[in-house]
Structure 1
Amino acid sequence: MVSAAGAEERDLRPDELPDGLVVADDRGLVTCFNAEAVRLTGIAAATAIGAPIDRALPLEDPEGRRWWRLTDPYGGLATRSGQPERILRLPDGRTVLVTARYVRVRPAGPVSRLVVALRGTAARRRSERTEAELVATVAHELRSPLTSVKGFTATLLDKWDRFTDDQKRLMLQTVDSDADRVTRLITELLDVSRIESGRLELRREPVRLDESVRRHVAGLTGGGLPADRFELRLADGLPWLWADPGKLDQVLGNLLENALRHGGGTVTITVRALPPTDDRPEGLETTVSDEGAGIPEDVMHRVFTRFWRGGARGGTGLGLYIVKGIVEAHGGTVSVGRSARGGARFRFTLPAGLPAFLA
Structure 2
Amino acid sequence: MSADSRVDLDHLPDGVLVAGPDARITALNVAAERVLERSRADLLGQDVRIALPLRDIEGQRWWECTDPWSGLATRTGHRERLLLLPGETKPVEVLVTATYRRAERGAPVEAVVLGLRDAKSRQRTQEEQGALISTVAHELRSPLTSVKGFTATLLRRWDRFTDDQKRFMLETIEHDADRVTRLIGELLDISRIDAGRLEVHAQPVDLAAAARRHVERMVASGSDERKFVVHASPHLPEVWADPDRLDQVMANLLENAVRHGDGTVTLDLVATSEVLSGSEPEPVVAVSVSDEGEGIDEENLQRVFTRFWHSHRRGGTGLGLYLVRGLVEAHGGRISVGRAASGGAEFRFTLPASVPDHVA
User: TM range, normalised to the smaller chain?
Assistant: 0.7 to 0.9
Gapped regions of structure 1 (runs ≥ 5): none
Q: Which residue of 1 aligns with 2:345?
A: 344
Contact map agreement 2:269 2:286 (CA 8 A) in 1: yes
Distance 2:78 2:344 in 1: 54
- 2:90 matched to 1:89? no
Distance 1:31 1:244 in 2: 47
Distance 1:124 1:281 in 2: 41
Distance 2:212 2:6 in 1: 61
Alignment deviations for residues 295-330 of structure 1 (CA, whole Å, 9 cap, x no partner): 122221222222222244311222212221222222
Contact map agreement 1:78 1:109 (CA 8 A) in 2: yes
1:95 Cα shift?
A: 1.6
Distance 1:201 1:42 in 2: 40
**Aligned letter for 2:82?**
I
Contact map agreement 2:248 2:324 (CA 8 A) in 1: yes
Distance 1:284 1:10 in 2: 41
Cα gap change, 1:78 to 1:303, in 2 (>3 Å): same
Distance 2:326 2:145 in 1: 32
Cα gap change, 1:291 to 1:79, in 2 (>3 Å): same
1:59 Cα shift?
A: 3.2
Q: Secondary structure at the match of 1:199?
A: coil
For 1:1-359, list aligned pairs within 5 A: 6-7=2-3, 19=15, 40=35, 57-73=52-68, 75-78=70-73, 80=75, 82-90=77-85, 92-100=90-98, 118-275=116-273, 279-353=280-354
Cα gap change, 1:172 to 1:240, in 2 (>3 Å): same
Contact map agreement 2:17 2:25 (CA 8 A) in 1: no
Contact map agreement 1:334 1:347 (CA 8 A) in 2: yes
1:274 Cα shift?
A: 0.9
Contact map agreement 1:22 1:117 (CA 8 A) in 2: no
Q: Secondary structure at the match of 2:302?
A: helix
1:173 Cα shift?
A: 1.8
Alignment deviations for residues 78-124 of structure 1 (CA, whole Å, 9 cap, x no partner): 56565444221346453202245678999978889877664312223
Root-mean-square deviation (CA), in Å?
Answer: 4.1
Contact map agreement 1:37 1:118 (CA 8 A) in 2: yes
Select between 201-210 and 31-40 the one with higher mean Cα deviation: 31-40
Gapped regions of structure 2 (runs ≥ 5): none
**Aligned letter for 1:307?**
F
Distance 2:113 2:274 in 1: 53
Contact map agreement 2:15 2:28 (CA 8 A) in 1: no
Alignment deviations for residues 156-197 of structure 1 (CA, whole Å, 9 cap, x no partner): 212222333332222222111111111111111122122223
**Aligned letter for 1:308?**
W
Contact map agreement 1:270 1:288 (CA 8 A) in 2: yes
Q: Secondary structure at the match of 1:211?
A: helix
Q: Secondary structure at the match of 1:349?
A: strand
TM-score between both structures, scaled by the size of structure 2: 0.79
1:254 Cα shift?
A: 0.7
Contact map agreement 2:15 2:30 (CA 8 A) in 1: no
Distance 1:256 1:354 in 2: 26
Cα gap change, 1:210 to 1:23, in 2 (>3 Å): closer
- Matched pairs, number: 348
Contact map agreement 2:230 2:268 (CA 8 A) in 1: yes
Q: Secondary structure at the match of 1:301?
A: coil
**Aligned letter for 1:145?**
P
Contact map agreement 1:95 1:121 (CA 8 A) in 2: yes
Distance 2:30 2:201 in 1: 50
Select between 325-334 and 158-167 the one with higher mean Cα deviation: 158-167
Alignment deviations for residues 179-222 of structure 1 (CA, whole Å, 9 cap, x no partner): 11111111111221222233323333332111111121122223
Structure showing greater radius of gyration is 1
Cα gap change, 1:225 to 1:78, in 2 (>3 Å): closer
Cα gap change, 1:165 to 1:120, in 2 (>3 Å): same
Select between 201-210 and 148-157 the one with higher mean Cα deviation: 201-210
Distance 2:30 2:207 in 1: 55
**Aligned letter for 2:95?**
L
Cα gap change, 1:74 to 1:297, in 2 (>3 Å): same
